[in-house]
Structure 1
Amino acid sequence: MKITNDIKYVGVNDRKIDLFEGQYAVENGMAYNSYVITDEKIAVMDTVDANFADEWLGNIENALGGKTPDYLIVQHMEPDHSANIKVFAEKYPQAKIVSSAKAFVMMKQFFGTDFSDRQIVVGEGDTLSLGKHELTFVTAPMVHWPEVIVTYDKFDKVLFSADGFGKFGALDADEDWACEARRYYFGIVGKYGVQVQNLLKKASALDIKIICPLHGPVLTENLGYYINLYDVWSSYKPENDGVLVAYTSVYGNTKKAAEMLAEQLKEKGCPKVAVCDLARDDMAEAVEDAFRYSKLVLAATTYNADIFPFMKEFINHLTERNYQNRTVAFIENGTWAPTAAKVMHTMLSNSKNLTFAENTVHIKSALNDESLAQINALSDELCKEYK
C-alpha cells in the first residue's frame, strides 16, 4: 500500500487472533503495522508479530524491489511490534538498528543481544537523514512502555506514532474508528493520560499531514478529529453527556432495578443511556463506556460482605486507569446485611473529582415501594439538567 511517493505500508493483518494481549476480544482481528521509507538511504519502521515473519519480510522485499534497507527503526519493544528484530538483523546484516537506550536494554532481555556493533541510540530531538527525508525522534515514555519513541518525517509531514492513534481490528475490517480506538486507548493506554498529554503538546509543534500508527488505519484526513479525541481521552474529560448503568445480578432483582432506572433516565431526557451486564458483556467495552459518558451508575449485589466479583473487577479497571471527573451513583442489594454501596464508594474514594449522587437505591432482596421510590428519586437527580 502506497502512503506517499516514498513511504509504503508493509504490515500484516492477523485474522486468527482471538484475544489481544491475552485479554481483549478482537472479533475483527488485529493489524500489525510496519512501513518502509525509500530515499538515498532506506529505513524500515518497526517489525510485526512473530507469527508473520515470512509475510512481513516478503512485503519488505516487494516494496524495495531488490534494494536492501539501511536502517531498522524500533519505536516500541512490545513483542507484537518487535518480535522480528533478530530475524531482520540476520537477513540484513549491514542494516543499523535505531532506537532508544531503554529499547536496547529490552532487546538484550528478549533476544540475548543488544546489537551493540550495529546500534544507533537516539533520544529527544535527535535526527537521522535518509536524504531528502530527515527523521526527527520524539521520546514518548509510558505511552505505553518506557522506551517508546515516535518519529516525524519532515519531508512528507508524517508522524509515525507508535501505539498512539491505534485501534483494534484488521485493516480490512469495516467498523467505526472511534469505537475500537476508544476501547483500545482506555484498555491499554488509559492509565497514562499525563504522558499522552505531554506527547500531544510535543506533536502540536509539528506540521502533521499523515499519522501512521502501529495498529489500525493510516490517518490522512480530518486529523483534528482524531487528535481532539485523544486530547479528551487523555485529559479524562467525558466525551459524551450520558449515563452508563453497569450492574451485576445473581437472581435478577438487581438487574430489574438497573433496567428500570435506565428506562426512567431515557424517559426523563438523558441524551444517551447504556446498560451493561458485567458478568456477560465485554469488560473492555464497559470500561470504554464508563470513560465515554459523564455519569456512571453502579448496581451490585452484596456478596460475602463485599461486592459481586465482576463489579469489583470493573471498579479496579476504572481506578487503575485514573477514573475521574464524573458523577457516580449506587444501587445496592442485600438480603440481611447490605454493604455493596459502602464498598463501592470506598473503592472509588481516592479517585479525583468524582461527584457522588445524593440518592442511593437500597434493595432488600427484591424491589418494593420504598426502593421503587428511590429509583425514581435517583433518575430525577441524574436528569435534573435535562428537564
Structure 2
Amino acid sequence: MCKPLEIEKDIFYVGVNDRTKHLFESLWPLPNGVSYNSYLIVDEKVALIDTVDICYSDVFFRKITSLLGDRPIDYLVVNHMEPDHSGSIGLLVNKYPDISIVGNKRTIEMLKGYYGVTNNLVEILDLDTLNLGKYNLKFYLTPMVHWPETMMTYLQEMNTLFSGDAFGTFGAIDGGVLDSQTRIEKYWDEMIRYYSNIVGKFGSPVQTALKKLSGVEIDMICSTHGPVWTKNGRINEVISLYDKLSKYDADSGLVIVYGSMYGNTAELADTIAVSASQNGVKDIVIHNVSKSHESDIIRDVFKYKGLIIGSPTYNNKLYPAVESVVTSLQNRNLKNRYFGYFGGFSWSDASERLLKSFAEEMNFEVVASPVVIKQGMLDEVYEKANNLGMMMAKKLNSDNSK
C-alpha cells in the first residue's frame, strides 16, 4: 500500500513521480523525471491542495485512501488548472461527489471548460480565508504566474505556502520530499531551467506576487513540482533565486549560441570565447544549436549577463535553429543583457541585419561591432572576433568591479 508522507503535523504529501515522460508539455526534456505534488491537510475538515496528472491517478487515490479510509475530502483547493495538476479532478469528483471545489473566478471558468464541473464550487476573492477547524487557509491571487487563474494558498497557523507552479523544478523526488532530506544541488540548474522555460516570460507578475507575499512569514513552501522548501533548508535561497530571475538579473558570465553548416561560424564562436577567457571571463558556455536542446540554451541565457549569438544566413533568414532560439528569447521578454553577434554568408547577408534588429527590439546593450564572414575566414575576421570577445569581457569585468 502506498503511504502518504507527513511532512509537517497534519500536512501530508500525496504527490507522485513521473519517470516515464520524455518531454514536459511535449517540449522540454525530462532527463531526471518530474514530480506532480499534491497535499492533504487533515483537520476537522479535510482539504486537498491540487491533484496530479491523470496518468498517475491510481497511485494518487491509493495514497489518499490509505490515509483517510472512508473519510471524505471536504475541500479541493485548485491553485492551478494546468492538466498536470488538475487532470484527476473528474475522477476525484466521482469518488467524492460532495466535495467542494475552491478557486477564483478564472478557475471556475476553467473547471467548466476542461472537465464540465459546475456544482459544489466555492468562489474566493483575493485574501479570502477558509476555516478547516483549528487551521485557516488564506488565498493570494497571483495571476500570470504563469496562467491567469494561478493563486497560492497559505496555511496560516503553520506558516506554510502552497505555491502552485511557483518555486517548482524539474526532477523527480528521489526519496526525500523535504529539501533537508536530499542533496538539493541536483535540482538547482533544473529549477533555473524550469523557471526560464515555463515561467520566464512573466517576470513582472512574479515580482508582483513576491511583493504581495513579502510581509508573510513563510516557513515552508509546498510547490507542485520538486522538493518542499523549508526554513531549515533552502527556502531563502529559492525565494532569492526567483526574485533574481524575475528581475532578469544574471551572473557575470557569457553564453555564446551559434549555428554552423560548414564550420566557419563555429570557429568564430571558439575564437570569441578564447578572447573573452584571456580577458578574464571564467564562466563561458558555448551552445551549438544543432546539438544543445533549446531549453538548456534558454536556461543559460537566464543565468548569465553576456550573450553573443552567431548565425549563417540561410534562405535569406537566420539559421533555423538560431531563429528558434531568438524567437524563444523574444517570447520570454528577456532584459538586461550585454549583447554581441556574428555571422557568415556566401553571396547575400541577412544574419547581421536580423540580429541587429533583435538586439534593438530587446533593448540590449551591444558591446562591439558585429563580426561577419563573407565566404572564408580571413585575418581581419579573426581580429574582429578577438575584439568582440575582449569588449564583452570588459563589460562583464566592469560589472564585477562595482
Question: Please, what TM-score do these two structures have when normalized by structure 2?
Answer: 0.93
**Partner Cα separation in structure 1 for residue 156 and residue 374 of structure 2:** 64
Counterpart among 92, 98, 115 of residue 88 in structure 1:
92
**Partner Cα separation in structure 2 for residue 123 and residue 27 of structure 1:** 39
**Partner Cα separation in structure 2 for residue 74 and residue 252 of structure 1:** 51
CA contact 1:334–1:363 (8 Å) conserved in 2: yes
Gaps of 5+ in 1: none
**Partner Cα separation in structure 2 for residue 338 and residue 373 of structure 1:** 20
CA contact 1:11–1:32 (8 Å) conserved in 2: yes
**Partner Cα separation in structure 1 for residue 212 and residue 44 of structure 2:** 28
Give the equivalent residue in structure 2 for 1:207.
217
Give SS of 2:381's match.
Answer: helix
**Are 1:289 and 2:293 an aligned pair?**
no
Shift of 1:198: 0.6
Give the equivalent residue in structure 1 for 2:80.
76
Give the equivalent residue in structure 2 for 1:345.
356
Deviates more, 1:360-369 or 1:160-169: 360-369
Shift of 1:176: 2.1
**Partner Cα separation in structure 1 for residue 76 and residue 25 of structure 2:** 24
Give SS of 2:102's match.
Answer: strand
Give the equivalent residue in structure 2 for 1:299.
310
- Sort the Cα spacing of 1:113 and 1:95 in 2 relative to 1 into closer, same or farther, 3 A: closer
CA contact 2:169–2:194 (8 Å) conserved in 1: yes
Report the RMSD for the aligned CA atoms in angstroms: 1.4
**Partner Cα separation in structure 1 for residue 87 and residue 95 of structure 2:** 14
Give SS of 1:145's match.
Answer: coil
Give SS of 2:229's match.
Answer: coil
Give SS of 2:360's match.
Answer: coil
Counterpart among 327, 331, 356 of residue 320 in structure 1:
331
Gaps of 5+ in 2: 176-182
Give the equivalent residue in structure 2 for 1:114.
118
Give the equivalent residue in structure 2 for 1:105.
109
Counterpart among 144, 147, 150 of residue 145 in structure 1:
147
Shift of 1:65: 4.2
Give SS of 1:176's match.
Answer: helix
**Are 1:47 and 2:51 an aligned pair?**
yes
CA contact 2:359–2:366 (8 Å) conserved in 1: no
CA contact 2:203–2:248 (8 Å) conserved in 1: yes
Give SS of 1:350's match.
Answer: helix
**CA deviation profile, 1:86-123 (whole Å, cap 9, x unmatched):** 111111122211111111111111112322xx111112
User: What is the letter of the counterpart of residue 186 of structure 2?
Assistant: D
CA contact 1:124–1:137 (8 Å) conserved in 2: yes
Give SS of 1:113's match.
Answer: coil
CA contact 2:346–2:375 (8 Å) conserved in 1: yes
**Are 1:164 and 2:166 an aligned pair?**
yes
**CA deviation profile, 1:334-367 (whole Å, cap 9, x unmatched):** 1122221211111332224x10122221212231
Shift of 1:66: 4.0
Shift of 1:28: 1.0
Give the equivalent residue in structure 2 for 1:384.
394
**Are 1:259 and 2:270 an aligned pair?**
yes
Counterpart among 223, 226, 235 of residue 247 in structure 2:
235
Percent sequence identity is 37
CA contact 2:13–2:38 (8 Å) conserved in 1: yes
**Partner Cα separation in structure 1 for residue 357 and residue 306 of structure 2:** 18
> What number of residue pairs does the alignment pair up?
383
Question: Please, what TM-score do these two structures have when normalized by structure 1?
Answer: 0.96
Give the equivalent residue in structure 2 for 1:176.
186
User: What is the letter of the counterpart of residue 165 of structure 1?
Assistant: F
Shift of 1:203: 1.2
CA contact 1:315–1:348 (8 Å) conserved in 2: no
Give the equivalent residue in structure 2 for 1:361.
371
Give SS of 2:17's match.
Answer: strand
CA contact 2:142–2:205 (8 Å) conserved in 1: yes
Give SS of 1:265's match.
Answer: helix
Map 1:23-42 to 2 at 5 A. Answer: 23-42=27-46
Give SS of 1:348's match.
Answer: helix
**Partner Cα separation in structure 1 for residue 68 and residue 159 of structure 2:** 22
Give the equivalent residue in structure 2 for 1:270.
281
User: What is the letter of the counterpart of residue 359 of structure 1?
Assistant: S
